[in-house]
Amino acid sequence: MKTGKPYTKLGLVIAACLALGAFATRGLGQAVKDVDETTNEVVKLSPFVVQNEIEDGYRSEQTLVGSRTAKSLMDVPASLSIINRQQIDDLNAVEVHEVLQFGTAGVTQNQTINDDVNIRGFRTVQSLRNGVTKTSFKRNPMYDVERIEVIKGPGAMLLGNNSFLGGGVNFVSMKPTHTPSGNVQLTIGEDSYARLAANVMGPLFENSSATVDYRVTLGGLTGDKERDIEEEDQIFVGAGLAMYFGDNTSVLVNAYYFRDDGYFYWEDFLDYSSLGGTTAAPKPAVLNPNSGKSFSPGRGEDAMWSNQDSFVDVTFLTKLTDAANLRLYYFGGNLVDRRRHVRGIRIEPDNYTLARQDIPLMIDNYTNNIQGDLTHKLEGSAFTLDTTIGFDWSSNFQRQDLSVNDPGSIDTRNPDFSGDAAYFAQPRNGAGLPNTNQAGNTNRNFSYYFQENLSLLKDKLILVGGLRWFEPGGTNTNYITGAITPRPDEGFRTHKYGIVVKPIPAVSIYYTDAENAFPQSGTTDRFQANDGLGKPLDTQDGTLEEFGIKIDYEFTDSITGYGSLVFYDMSLTNVRTFGPLPEATNPGDNGIIQSPGDMADGWELEYGLRIKGDAGIFDLLGTYAEGTSETAGAVNVPAQDFVPKKISLMGKYEWTGGPLKGFVLGATYFDQDKKRNSTWTIDFPATYNVFARYAWDDHWSVQLNLNNLTDERYIVAIAANGLVQTEPGFDAKLAVKYKW
């Protein structure tokens, strides 16, 4: 569905939004300012701002990612999980996988080197930062992260990004506060590990017409690892500004520069006995006995991975009338990624000779994103109608140059790298000579949407509906041949509908229906492979139907329970596969066909409990997920990396009185079923963590985290039989924190 040039529409929408903003000339009630904790002044907040919540264990009440405006979790017809700062601090988490294990059901880990996750059987490679997609090939930094939000299901309507099919993971930056505060934490561990993180915030400027609050974040990480080829090396500098003009307008700014020169990659390899499986009959993956915790496929001085990541986002908020609010948003990102991977690729039949590759690689990625949203609230005696209209425009350029060279095999029984010095001293493709592959793409997208929330019967019945139209475009470039080809530019529409019923305020029952759409070019085959005589490939639909029950109930003054039970059915239709042709020239001939699709269904349980007593507070957080999946074009073959069952528990007790006041003791448990990874099955064993903290003098605390107590070393991902990722086993961290 095409409706004109996206740039023309972008200009018109921006002009209209700026014209509306010009009418915001006087205050009509405070729209955006925080609660001033020094005066306890209660102020009204913008619908685009999540209100600062008083810490209540692992429980959170509001989200932005569910609808672009701040909503109670109970009012959103979607499965949402929020991992707040308390949970991040208790786990002393420095990467997102450490908290996703315990904070959300149905989300599992695909890799160790980045934030690649699997949500309900569908892969989510990229994460979001403050609601906008952010490219990263390493783990996203968490020095300035206030909370992590996970929304499940097709995200095209809500997120403005059609690629989020299974769901999205959103990192939310810390917002500056008007009350001066700060903290500094030093964490140390084995192998010279040391991580420093510091956040300072407070008022920068204030007069009768303007207030400016600031945040400064500094961080760094250094450390060796057991493998000679691996190391930790990070520097982080971040900042935030919250500028309030009068009673109705604000500008919020976040930015950071993150340099990560640490090296960690696919360093392990399989036992030869693991080979020979198929997609329909995978074999259990077994680590080679020579693939130990200290094994390296090459020397540390020959491998490198320098990654420089910078971003800035600016949010303009203003209250136009008592009923209308405007949000304008800009996001800019710049990623410069330089690597030279020395890696294994194939284990030979003797089970000890490892064929290797030398891969110089460079990636440049630049992203710009502009959003505009206008909300209007119409209140009647019997209903409330919240209307949101808006647009997203994004432009992303990425160039990747690489070469694959052969440095020779090694004997993994006793690795000898004496020949590597001469090899790496010579110019190679991509390292002194031009890369053999040089390609880039420019991906542009414009979309616009509206969403209606109709509340009836004093918010006991909420109807939600939204549509978004996409206008994609861009080019692919081969820098060796100079060939430039256009990217698909077919317009399409997506939707999200839902209904919420709240028989009592503490219980909500919801149903939702959502979709993503993926137009395809090309045709199927008809008589023989590659004849292209079949029907055109149909548009793929990523669909979700979901039914859920949410509870947030205060049983007594001291006992609170919360959680959700969700049933889902998801699919991706018209998947391009290779199978029997409808009019094959010879019986059994295969070619390009379209299968019914990838499918997954199941149920998820997330629950929490907080019990307050005279001597302390007990918090419990649990998840359980169970489901089935099927791969396109195959019968009874589960989807890649889909986990049929996952269970986790996280609990702690904090002494608030008596002789143990200030102590916290907690533990976690995590386990998941086997998953299919290509032609292998991977078994994640049960793991156990414990943590303890002692806080004193209202300022100081010391914390010990002991992770993977049973020292289980297990496979996470397999790219080839000589290219495997593992979790290394037991890990201990000691942290000292000072706050004010």
Instruction: Report pLDDT for 54.
Output: 55
Rg of the chain over all Cα atoms, to the nearest angstrom: 27
Instruction: DSSP for 176-227, please give it.
Output: P-SS-EEEEEEEEETTTEEEEEEEEEEEEEE-SSEEEEEEEEEEEEEEE-SS
Instruction: Report pLDDT for 192.
Output: 93
The secondary structure element, H or E, covering residue 28 is none
Q: Is residue 527 part of a domain?
A: yes
Instruction: Report pLDDT for 3.
Output: 38
pLDDT digits (tens, 9 = 90+) for 128-137: 999 999 999 9
Hey, is 402 helix, strand or coil? strand
Task: Say yes or no to pLDDT of 11 above 70.
Answer: no
pLDDT digits (tens, 9 = 90+) for 388-410: 999 999 999 999 999 999 999 99
- Sign of the dihedral defined by the CA atoms of residues 430, 114, 134, 467, in that order: positive
pLDDT tier for residue 481 given thresholds of 50, 70 and 90 = very high
The count of structural domains within the chain is 1
Angle at 673 between CA 672 and CA 676, to 5 degrees: 120
- Residue pair 537/522 in contact (Cβ under 8 Å)? The answer is yes
pLDDT digits (tens, 9 = 90+) for 181-196: 999 999 999 999 999 9
Helix/strand/coil (H, E, C) string of 116-170?
CEEECCEEECCEEECCEEECCCCCCCCCCEEEEEEEECCCHHHHCCCCCCCEEEE
- Structure tokens, 563: 């959680």
Q: Tell me the C-alpha distance between 362 and 384, whole Å.
A: 53
Q: Tell me the C-alpha distance between 343 and 67, whole Å.
A: 43
Tally of CA atoms within 13 A in the half-sphere of 269 that contains its CB: 26
Say whether pTM exceeds 0.85. Answer: yes
The secondary structure element, H or E, covering residue 190 is none
Judged by phi (left if over 0) then psi (alpha if -120 to 50, else beta), residue 189 lies in beta
pLDDT tier for residue 635 given thresholds of 50, 70 and 90 = confident
- Structure tokens, 4: 């004109």
Instruction: Report pLDDT for 469.
Output: 98
pLDDT tier for residue 45 given thresholds of 50, 70 and 90 = low
Question: Comparing 45 with 384, which gets the higher pLDDT?
Answer: 384
pLDDT tier for residue 34 given thresholds of 50, 70 and 90 = very low
- Structure tokens, 441: 């793409």
Instruction: Report pLDDT for 67.
Output: 72
Q: What is the mean pLDDT of residues 458-463?
A: 95
Instruction: Report pLDDT for 51.
Output: 67
DSSP type of residue 73: G
pLDDT digits (tens, 9 = 90+) for 577-602: 988 998 988 888 899 999 888 999 99
pLDDT tier for residue 726 given thresholds of 50, 70 and 90 = very high
Task: Say yes or no to pLDDT of 8 above 70.
Answer: no
Quickly tell me which residue has 């990623």 as its tokens. 335
Sorted by sequence, the CB contacts under 8 Å of residue 381 that are 6+ apart come out as none
- Residue pair 130/254 in contact (Cβ under 8 Å)? The answer is yes
**CA dist 323 → 221, 329, 350 (Å):** 47, 20, 74
b/e map 14-46, b = 16+ CB within 10 Å: eeebeebbeebeeeeebbbbbbeeeeeeeeebb
The secondary structure element, H or E, covering residue 515 is strand 507-518
Q: Tell me the C-alpha distance between 138 and 305, whole Å.
A: 10
pLDDT digits (tens, 9 = 90+) for 325-343: 999 999 999 999 999 999 9
- Residue pair 242/213 in contact (Cβ under 8 Å)? The answer is yes
Query: Which of 637, 635, 565, 653 minimizes the C-alpha distance to 605?
Result: 565
pLDDT tier for residue 634 given thresholds of 50, 70 and 90 = confident
- Structure tokens, 592: 């390009």
**CA dist 581 → 194, 376, 523, 525, 575 (Å):** 59, 54, 13, 7, 15
pLDDT tier for residue 46 given thresholds of 50, 70 and 90 = confident
Q: Is residue 425 part of a domain?
A: yes
Residue type, 510: Y
DSSP type of residue 686: P
b/e map 511-539, b = 16+ CB within 10 Å: ebbbbbbbbbeeebbbeeeeeeebeebee
Q: What is the mean pLDDT of residues 539-551?
A: 96
Instruction: Report pLDDT for 7.
Output: 37
Instruction: Report pLDDT for 293.
Output: 93
Q: Is residue 315 part of a domain?
A: yes
CATH code for the domain of 458: 2.40.170.20
- Structure tokens, 719: 């790219």
Which has the minimum average pLDDT: 559-573, 628-642, 650-664?
Answer: 628-642
Instruction: Report pLDDT for 626.
Output: 97
Domain of 456, in residue numbers: 6-739
Q: What is the mean pLDDT of residues 16-27?
A: 35
Task: Say yes or no to pLDDT of 26 above 80.
Answer: no
Query: Which of 94, 293, 372 minimizes the C-alpha distance to 712?
Result: 293
Instruction: Report pLDDT for 61.
Output: 84
Tally of CA atoms within 13 A in the half-sphere of 458 that contains its CB: 3
- Residue pair 270/283 in contact (Cβ under 8 Å)? The answer is no
Instruction: Report pLDDT for 510.
Output: 98
Q: Is residue 1 part of a domain?
A: no
pLDDT tier for residue 53 given thresholds of 50, 70 and 90 = low
**CA dist 680 → 275, 284, 630, 640 (Å):** 8, 5, 16, 10
Q: Report the chain's mean pLDDT, rounded to a whole number.
A: 91
Instruction: Report pLDDT for 493.
Output: 96
How many helices (H) and strands (E) the chain has is answered by 5, 41
Query: Which of 620, 728, 624 minimizes the C-alpha distance to 673?
Result: 624
